[in-house]
Amino acid sequence: MATVTSSNFFSVFLSSRLGNSRRCFFQPNSLPILRQTFAEKVRASSTAFVETKPTEPIVVDKEVRTSKNVLACPICYQPMTWIGDSVLSVDSAAGSSLQCNTCKKTYSGQETHFDLTAASGTKGYGESMPPATEFFRIPLISFLYERGWRQNFVLGGFPGPEKEFELMKDYLKPVLGGNIIDASCGSGLFARIFAKSGLFSLVVALDYSENMLKQCYEFVKQEQNFPKENLILARADISRLPFVSSSIDAVHAGAAIHCWPSPSTGVAEISRVLRPGGVFVGTTYILDGPFNLIPFSRLLRQSMMQISGSYAFLAEEEIEDLCRACGLVDFKCIRNSRFVMFTATKPN
Ligand SMILES: C[S@@+](CC[C@H](N)C(=O)[O-])C[C@H]1O[C@@H](n2cnc3c(N)ncnc32)[C@H](O)[C@@H]1O
């Protein structure tokens, strides 16, 4: 693992971008310095993107998939028929429904989203997920998420949504023009950026929290001239994705894998729905450095998980291992402090 200082950061960053190798940025300094240095770094990296734009126009694959036929029944994973408005948009969920061609279960669109969880349509039955999932269903948490909460991620090294999008575009280049799922989208900060970028034929904003999806819907509604076409809001569990196998070009999961009840089931599902050559990009906090020196830290973490039912942060090699175990290849990552952006691809 290479150590990159702020003085040689820019050249290493550019050369690693060109060489597509793993990028690791270390910030051992105090917090105020860390924030300042990283701000400089990110500016440097985004400048690099801006500078390459005129000479490297983004070429979008013209062969656009039929937007609606990627949706599958979460019970039997078979394709569903869209009944309703022929124009796909955020607004067309209300008044539309989806029917499974095989088991015939119908999923009625709600005002803000489709509920594509297995339990959708139950009347008296209720179940609760582990704390890290249930927490984000609380209306106040969903409300606060983009109103100050997410901004604090910068303290852990997250560069912020716009810069994160700039960084991930590099990884997403091979699948631009295709469809993308923003898995565990929260209030849809990235799903909205994806939709506005015009770089994807379909954007699915997916989260288990109905309140996060409601926030996403409100943000979309508030923004003038938002391109609502080809954006769907879907409530679903990451462990049971409502998409046809091998139908998805890209999956993004921002700051999410550490919140999933079972990261392995989530990544396995992502691998199932990605088409050959499809790309998975995720971000999370990394658990390493001094944490890994604690004797039996991994064992301790696993025991804590068994008790709490929620997962904790992973080490970089654990994420790589997990992607490989779930059939994804070509793992790469970029690091800053505890922030990591990683990518892996479904083999062709
Ligand atoms: C920290 S937020 C990340 C939001 C956004 N992607 C971002 O980059 O800021 C984690 C999200 O994971 C979602 N989540 C947790 N468990 C989930 C599950 N089992 N299935 C789908 N989403 C889940 C939560 O509802 C929450 O919105």
Residue with tokens 């949706």: 71
Higher pLDDT, 29 or 332: 332
Higher pLDDT, 3 or 116: 116
Q: What is the mean pLDDT of the chain?
A: 81
Pocket test for ligand 1, best of 113, 151, 153, 207 (most atoms within 8 A of CB): 207
Does ligand 1 lie within 6 Å of residue 263's CB atom? no
Question: What SS3 state is found at 82?
Answer: strand
Q: For residues 9 and 44, is the Cβ–Cβ distance under 8 A? A: yes
What is the tens place of the pLDDT at every residue in 210-222?
A: 999 999 999 999 9
pLDDT at 167 over 90: yes
Distance 15 CA to ligand 1 centre (A): 33
- Which residue puts its alpha carbon closest to atom 7 of ligand 1? 254
The one-character DSSP state at 136 is G
Q: For residues 86 and 68, is the Cβ–Cβ distance under 8 A? A: no
Rounded to two decimals, the pTM is: 0.82
Comparing 20-29, 33-42, 64-73, the range with the smallest average pLDDT is 33-42
Q: For residues 187 and 142, is the Cβ–Cβ distance under 8 A? A: yes
pLDDT bucket at 29, cuts 50 / 70 / 90 = very low
What is the tens place of the pLDDT at every residue in 122-135?
A: 999 988 898 889 99
Q: For residues 316 and 333, is the Cβ–Cβ distance under 8 A? A: yes
Give the CA angle between residues 191, 189, 68 to the nearest 5°: 15
Distance 238 CA to ligand 1 centre (A): 9
Comparing 52-61, 65-74, 82-91, the range with the smallest average pLDDT is 52-61
Encoded tokens for 230: 């080809």
Q: For residues 241 and 272, is the Cβ–Cβ distance under 8 A? A: yes
Which helix or strand (DSSP H or E) is residue 92 part of? none
Distance 259 CA to ligand 1 centre (A): 6
Does ligand 1 lie within 6 Å of residue 237's CB atom? yes
pLDDT at 239 over 80: yes
